Amino acid sequence: MIKHNFSAGPSILPKEVMKTASDAILEINNSGLSLIEISHRSKDFVDIMDNATSTALELLDLQNKGYKALFLQGGASLQFLMTAYNLLESKSGYLDTGSWSTKAIKEAKLFGDVIEVASSKEKNFNYVPKNFNIDPDLDYLHITTNNTIFGTQVKNIPETKVPLVADMSSDIFSKNIDFSKFSLIYAGAQKNMGPAGTTLVIIKEDVLGKVTRKIPSMLNYQIHIDKKSMFNTPPVFAVYTSMLTLEWLKKNGGISAIEKKNSLKANLIYNEIDSNELFEGFAEIEDRSYMNATFNLKNQEHKDIFNQMCLEANISGVNGHRSVGGYRASIYNAMEISSVNILVEVMKELKNKV
């Protein structure tokens, strides 16, 4: 039975990646040992980590440009803290576009002044603020590029002379942008790259070493850079599977190719939302996410029928977050167009059922 998995995360992964990763659980590289029982200091795993970090930088076109890639633990939630711990000396700026940026702001306030440069909270985060002022004296500006819960996405990266930091947990590797505009990028793996358990952090080294506070070793980016993500035992399975996903993306044409596929998928579902009189979108059209399409039924009396139709079509994970309600179709890189077509057909068919 084929399941069409629209879950927001942990989310869909390429089938070939899951097959290779599951085989490695039994044995890695004909060693007679499982991936999860070899030493993380062994050549087998050091090669995996080196390949994962170098492929990440290659896909983002950041090789030989002063950047380092890390695979850490604690999710994006720990990065809310680490970013401020390592970069915030006096004041920072945050663009508040949803639950995750709100949580990042809360953590940053532990270390210094936080300026909320703009917010869309007054409309339940259904749009991305624009044309806001950026204080040139900020230690950094933080944005969340894609807002999984509310289905909005930053389409134009702010132009700023201060270091730019981004939480890209749910849209990294999904579209081409100039990643060199950022001094620090972090992304939990479980939405568009791998299984839960690791977080990719991309750092331009020249942004470090500017705070006067002492930083605990486990929260110090420089220590993790010096130890090549091996300061403590890394999450070996999550790193390995992320490496496989990055290799899969590279083999299939990289970010440029996947961006075209993602645009097709997003256009399919948004066209149906806009043309079907039974549905309405949540996010403002110009700010709609190409990773998470949020929408609702105009008449809630149709909810049970639509839910049953989704169930019968083997559609999983389309319920919206409680902050928004309704439905959310997450169409990450590994989602096939055929699955999006199934959802669209169910939406069309609903008109014949009510």
* 246 CB neighbour count, 10 Å cutoff: 24
Reported as a single tens digit per residue, the pLDDT across 169-178 is 999 999 999 9
Q: For residues 246 and 53, what is the distance between their CA atoms, to the nearest angstrom?
A: 10
Rounded Cα distance between 242 and 278, Å, is: 39
Antiparallel, parallel or unpaired: β 67-72 and 199-204: antiparallel
Residue 167: active-site member: yes
Taking residue 38's Cβ as centre, other Cβ atoms within 10 Å add up to 18
Find the catalytic residue in 96, 139, 167, 171: 167
Domain positions in the chain are 15-251, 254-353
Element containing residue 241 per DSSP (H, E): helix 236-251
Please give the Cα distance from 314 to 75 (Å, whole number): 30
Task: Please tell me the distance from the alpha carbon of residue 192 to that of residue 210, in angstroms, as a whole number.
Answer: 32
Could you say which of 68, 96, 175, 191 is catalytic? 191
Instruction: Tell me the pLDDT band of 123, cut-offs 50, 70 and 90.
Output: very high
* Mean pLDDT value across the chain: 97
User: What's the pLDDT tens digit per position in 223-252?
Assistant: 999 999 999 999 999 999 999 999 999 999
Which two three-digit tokens encode residue 187? 């992304």
Q: Which of 36, 71, 74 is nearest to 54 (CA)?
A: 71
Nearest-angstrom CA–CA distance, 256 and 298: 36
Q: Is it the case that residue 74 has pLDDT exceeding 90?
A: yes
pLDDT of residue 2: 80
What is the band of 17 on the pLDDT scale with cuts at 50, 70, 90?
Answer: very high
Q: What is the pLDDT of residues 244-254, one digit of tens each?
A: 999 999 999 99
Q: Are 150 and 166 in contact (CB under 8 A)?
A: no
Indicate if the alpha-carbon torsion angle 330, 116, 201, 229 is positive or negative: negative
**pLDDT tens-digit profile of 202-220?**
999 999 999 999 999 999 9
Residue 197 burial (CB count, 10 A) = 21
Examine the residue annotation and report whether 191 is marked as an active-site residue of this protein.
yes
Q: How high is the pLDDT of residue 100?
A: 96
| Pairwise CA distance, residues 190 & 162, whole Å | 29
Q: Which of 100, 171, 175, 248 is catalytic?
A: 100
DSSP letter (8 states) at residue 158 = P
Does the active-site annotation cover 47?
no
Query: Which fold does the domain 254-353 belong to in CATH?
Result: Aspartate Aminotransferase, domain 1 (3.90.1150)
State the amino acid at position 151 in one-letter form. G
**Do the Cβ atoms of 35 and 240 come closer than 8 Å?**
yes
Fold of domain 15-251: Aspartate Aminotransferase; domain 2 (3.40.640)
The percentage of residues in the chain with a pLDDT greater than 90, rounded to a whole number, is 98
The string of pLDDT tens digits covering residues 273-332 is: 999 999 999 999 999 999 999 999 999 999 999 999 999 999 999 999 999 999 999 999
Segment 118-142 mean pLDDT? 97
Mean pLDDT of the 59-87 span: 98
> What average pLDDT does this structure show over 117-121?
98
* pLDDT recorded at residue 1: 73
H-assigned helices in the chain: 15-26, 43-59, 75-87, 99-108, 221-226, 236-251, 254-275, 303-312, 337-353
Is the peptide bond preceding residue 14 cis, with omega within 30 degrees of 0?
A: no
